[in-house]
């Protein structure tokens, strides 16, 4: 922004603001609130809704403050009868075509359209509906679109195109027929969509939401024949409190465990256990690639939006992806092999539910290759294809879990803190920070350093890898060998590093990529709203939890050590290969031609 | 597409069009326009659009955005004859809605044209019926264009006569 200051007059008072600022910015700096709807800081300013209107002296019509810039001597009025009337009319026009189903809507009481209508005092349903009813898009395993609820603010398109550079959706047609579409109306499940769910996170209404699996999970919990276990991702403990009405970033690990027990889960485990396992495998994989001259840089693979992005947009660079499964999938595979055997449970009767900050995890759990527990047992027990099951049965987002808590009448804030179950609930500080951008890299370095050098790492805080910069770099000294590493969050930043690799100019040995802004703590399944301030608070809580743990290196997790001793023997060994490692497929852009990943049709959400 | 397979004649021609427009202002629009004109049935096939996106690097969703925004672009094969009824104010007051209904009756596709605004191709691909907001020929209202020729002061009777000329099939009067 231009550092030159200009003088502006807002509602009769003089203020000095930077010359490139928008009127909305200027009002914010002056502490004057201007209502907005389609505007989203750093993501979208399409000036489509007409809610942020202000009067500018000398201008013929009202001005949209989100895009109009200040100039020296400008006189702005933010409140007048004319402004109130125009803002209200614009919202009334949006409401004309918006379904009046608020009471039975998943975003009820968490809807920006609802809020703005209340804030502006809309009391009448003045205009008749002019749009025809449109079909839902239920093609995706992660997301459901209801175009009838769309107010064409353009945020989803901006976040998908500009932030993630995926461009799965765009506006189509014009005039009254304008809508948000995928290519040729094929639906999200049939185009190059990464399922990241950032569109759902920024949608002001319920036009894009996560596929709801709460009914299915409730049903499984009631089934006496099933052993239902749950795993929770690191980012849930800093998100679920917020979804239950607590302050953003509230760290509620113990209450979350207690709440899940009260929902009826037999065992409450931690995805952080397999996050530690991922680190051990991945650190060894890195060392192996360094010594055997494997494909470098190696890139992390725990973010399923990112791996699908690579499959679509960089199909010739898949050798760079670590073969490690994500912690969610490692957990599912181990729960239905190692743990099931240990407790003598029929894995067919075991139900693994994940709670994830992520919509892409719903898709990941249904990838056909994610049935390694079934593959493991089928020969031993002579099972047929009819017995087939996925490693992870259901994936719930933070938002879905909060709905289950509320529906069950759980008073979340007053729950006592409880501990995770053993053995799959044990984790280290290294696993906690998986939830923040840079965390996986930091955790991996803590382990890789000790694997390579055989020395104890004393300063384990890699501060350069923390924070919200889009691409972060660091250099580590492994026995005199300098390794450059990089961390990227958002697929737009990942694309930059991938293009560097394609040009043969990548200076890095190891790259961490997280699909969502801020890492998993800013995932597409997290509470709405998720802003940069909120992301920072969630990150602070994760790093605080790491600091509070006595064991902060993954390879020192006693249960991980026991797991290798009892079952897997050695990292990257023959026994760990099948449950813990995976492969990728070249998908390209024309997905509908090669789409063959759906085993069972997704059920309708209503 | 792995580059080894030979491209169809149409896709090769599209490659030529793309090379011609590369780097020019309004590149995508120019490419799409010429690509449509190359097609015998005057439309952009999915295959053609895929190819344009692949070669230009423009995201598929963006290509779809452009082809659905401009009424010039067709996503379905067009009829041999194009009938365009003006639905501007002057023509409307002179009864253009009735003319559109007449066309529906004559060609047996009344239901498809019901909402007074239309873009329809008969199943035999003989006729494409569309409407425009104004031809700028208001003094001659109502006007109907058939294959690019504008006919003025059109009545049901003249319509019947005009359509009869093209039609192989029997048109009931």
Over the stretch A504-563, which tens digit does the pLDDT of each residue have? Answer: 999 999 999 999 999 999 999 999 999 999 999 999 999 999 999 999 999 999 999 999
The closest alpha carbon to A451, from A265, A577, A284, belongs to A284
Note whether B61 contacts A: Cβ–Cβ < 8 A.
yes
Cβ atoms of A227 and A349 within 8 Å: the answer is: yes
Catalytic, out of A48, A65, A142, A322: A322
Sign of CA dihedral A359, A363, A366, A369: negative
Average pLDDT, chain A: 95
Among A161, A172, A495, the residue to mutate for chain B (most B Cβ within 10 A): A172
SS3 assignment, position A18: strand
Chain B residues 8-47 with a CB less than 8 Å from chain A: 46
Minimal Cβ distance to A183: which of B54, B60, B69: B60
Share of chain B above pLDDT 70, in %: 91
Cβ atoms of A188 and A182 within 8 Å: the answer is: yes
Q: Give the nearest chain B residue to A170 (CA atoms).
A: B61
Q: Which CATH architecture has domain A5-95?
A: Roll (3.10)
Give the model's pLDDT for residue A3: 74
The closest alpha carbon to A83, from A20, A129, A23, A42, belongs to A23
Note whether B6 contacts A: Cβ–Cβ < 8 A.
no
Give the model's pLDDT for residue B118: 67
What is the dotted CATH code of the domain comprising A214-580? 3.40.50.1780
Note whether B153 contacts A: Cβ–Cβ < 8 A.
no
* Residue contact B68–A590, C-beta within 8 A: no
Whether pLDDT at B88 is above 70: yes
Count of CB pairs separated by less than 8 Å, A with B? 43
Give the model's pLDDT for residue B7: 81
Residues of chain A scoring pLDDT < 50: 1, 596-606
DSSP A368-416: TT--HHHHHHHHHHT--GGG---SS-EEEEHHHHHHHHHHTT--GGGPP
Among B44, B59, B74, B76, the residue to mutate for chain A (most A Cβ within 10 A): B59
Q: Which CATH architecture has domain B81-166?
A: 3-Layer(aba) Sandwich (3.40)
CA distance A515 to chain B (A): 19
What distance in Å separates the CA atoms of residue A551 and residue A506, rounded to the nearest whole number? 34
How do beta strands A481-489 and A510-514 pair? parallel
Catalytic, out of A210, A220, A364, A426: A364
The closest alpha carbon to A500, from A486, A490, A515, A518, belongs to A486
What distance in Å separates the CA atoms of residue A570 and residue A549, rounded to the nearest whole number? 26
* Residue contact A173–B69, C-beta within 8 A: yes
What residues in A contact B59, CB-CB < 8 Å? Answer: 161, 167, 170
List chain A domain ranges. Answer: 5-95, 131-210, 214-580
Q: What share of chain A is helix, strand, coil (3-state, %, to 5)?
A: 45, 15, 45
What is the dotted CATH code of the domain comprising A131-210? 3.30.70.20
* Residue contact B68–A168, C-beta within 8 A: no
CB contact set of A247 (below 8 Å; sequence gap of 6+): A241, A537
Over the stretch B36-81, which tens digit does the pLDDT of each residue have? Answer: 999 999 999 999 999 999 999 999 999 999 999 998 899 999 998 8
Over the stretch A469-512, which tens digit does the pLDDT of each residue have? Answer: 999 999 999 888 899 999 999 999 999 999 999 999 999 999 99
What distance in Å separates the CA atoms of residue A121 and residue B117, rounded to the nearest whole number? 37
Give the model's pLDDT for residue A606: 38
List chain B domain ranges. Answer: 9-69, 81-166
Instruction: State how far the alpha carbon of A22 is from the alpha carbons of A13, A65, A118, A166, A517, in Å.
Output: 17, 7, 26, 28, 24
What distance in Å separates the CA atoms of residue A235 and residue A526, rounded to the nearest whole number? 9
* Residue contact A589–B53, C-beta within 8 A: yes
* Residue contact A183–B69, C-beta within 8 A: no
């Amino acid at each position: 922004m231009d550092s030159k200051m200009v003088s502006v007059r807002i509602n009769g008072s003089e203020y000095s603001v930077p010359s490139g600022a928008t009127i909305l910015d200027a009002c914010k700096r002056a502490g004057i609130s201007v209502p907005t709807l389609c505007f989203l800081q750093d993501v979208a300013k399409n000036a489509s809704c007409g809610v942020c209107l202000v009067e500018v002296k000398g201008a013929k019509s009202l001005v949209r403050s989100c895009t109009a810039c200040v100039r020296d001597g400008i006189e702005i009025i933010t409140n007048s009868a004319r402004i109130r009337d125009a803002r209200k009319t614009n919202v009334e026009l949006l409401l004309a075509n918006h379904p009046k189903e608020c009471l039975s809507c998943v975003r009820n009481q968490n809807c920006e359209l609802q809020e703005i209508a209340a804030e502006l005092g809309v009391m009448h349903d003045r205009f008749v509906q002019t749009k025809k009813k449109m079909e839902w898009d239920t093609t995706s395993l992660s997301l459901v679109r209801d175009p009838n609820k769309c107010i064409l603010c353009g945020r989803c398109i901006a976040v998908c195109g500009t932030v993630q550079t995926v461009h799965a959706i765009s506006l189509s047609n014009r005039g009254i027929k304008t809508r948000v579409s995928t290519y040729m109306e094929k639906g999200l499940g049939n185009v190059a969509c990464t399922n990241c769910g950032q569109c759902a996170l920024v949608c002001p209404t319920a036009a894009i939401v996560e596929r709801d699996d709460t009914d299915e999970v409730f049903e499984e919990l009631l089934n006496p024949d099933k052993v239902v276990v749950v795993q929770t991702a690191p980012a849930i403990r800093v998100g679920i409190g917020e979804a239950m009405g607590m302050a953003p970033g509230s760290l509620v690990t113990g209450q979350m465990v207690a709440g899940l027990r009260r929902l009826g889960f037999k065992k409450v485990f931690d995805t952080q256990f397999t996050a530690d396992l991922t680190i051990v495998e991945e650190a060894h994989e890195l060392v192996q690639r360094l010594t055997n001259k494997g494909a470098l840089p190696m890139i992390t693979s725990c973010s399923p939006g990112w791996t699908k992005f690579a499959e679509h947009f960089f199909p010739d660079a898949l050798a760079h992806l670590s073969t490690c499964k994500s912690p969610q999938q490692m957990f599912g595979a181990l729960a239905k092999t190692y743990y099931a055997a240990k407790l003598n449970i029929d894995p067919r009767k075991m139900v693994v539910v994940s709670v994830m900050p992520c919509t892409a995890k719903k898709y990941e759990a249904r990838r056909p290759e994610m049935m390694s527990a079934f593959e493991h047992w089928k020969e031993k027990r002579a099972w047929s294809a009819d017995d087939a099951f996925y490693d992870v049965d259901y994936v719930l987002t933070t938002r879905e879990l909060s709905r289950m808590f509320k529906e069950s009448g759980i008073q979340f804030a007053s729950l006592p803190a409880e501990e995770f179950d053993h053995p799959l609930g044990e984790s280290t500080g290294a696993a906690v920070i998986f939830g923040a951008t840079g965390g996986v890299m930091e955790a991996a370095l803590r382990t890789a350093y000790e694997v390579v050098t055989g020395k104890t790492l004393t300063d384990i805080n890699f501060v350069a890898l923390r924070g919200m910069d889009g691409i972060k770099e660091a250099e580590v000294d492994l026995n005199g060998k300098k390794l450059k590493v990089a961390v990227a969050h958002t697929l737009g930043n990942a694309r930059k590093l991938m293009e560097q690799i394609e040009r043969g100019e990548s200076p890095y040995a190891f790259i961490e990529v997280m699909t969502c802004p801020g890492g998993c703590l800013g995932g597409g399944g997290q509470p709405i709203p998720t802003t940069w301030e909120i992301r920072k608070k969630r990150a602070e809580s994760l790093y605080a939890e790491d600091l509070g743990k006595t064991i902060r290196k993954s390879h020192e997790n006693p249960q991980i050590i026991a797991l290798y001793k009892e079952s897997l023997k050695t990292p990257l060994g023959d026994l760990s290969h099948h449950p813990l490692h995976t492969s990728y497929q070249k998908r390209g852009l024309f997905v509908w031609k090669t789409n063959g990943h759906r085993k069972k049709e997704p059920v309708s959400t209503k | 597409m792995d580059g080894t397979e030979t491209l169809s004649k149409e896709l090769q021609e599209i490659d030529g069009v793309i090379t011609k427009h590369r780097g020019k202002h309004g590149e995508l629009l120019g490419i799409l326009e010429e690509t449509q004109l190359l097609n015998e049935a005057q439309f952009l096939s999915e295959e053609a659009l895929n190819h344009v996106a692949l070669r230009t690097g423009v995201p598929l969703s963006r290509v779809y955005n452009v082809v659905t925004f401009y009424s010039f672009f067709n996503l379905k094969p067009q009829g041999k004859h194009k009938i365009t009824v003006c639905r501007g104010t002057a023509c409307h007051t002179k009864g253009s809605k009735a003319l559109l209904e007449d066309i529906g009756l004559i060609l047996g596709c009344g239901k498809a044209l019901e909402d007074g605004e239309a873009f329809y191709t008969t199943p035999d691909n003989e006729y494409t019926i569309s409407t425009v907001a104004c031809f700028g020929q208001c003094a001659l209202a109502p006007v109907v264009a058939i294959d690019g020729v504008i006919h003025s002061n059109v009545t049901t009777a003249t319509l019947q006569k005009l359509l009869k000329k093209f039609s192989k099939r029997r048109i009931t009067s």
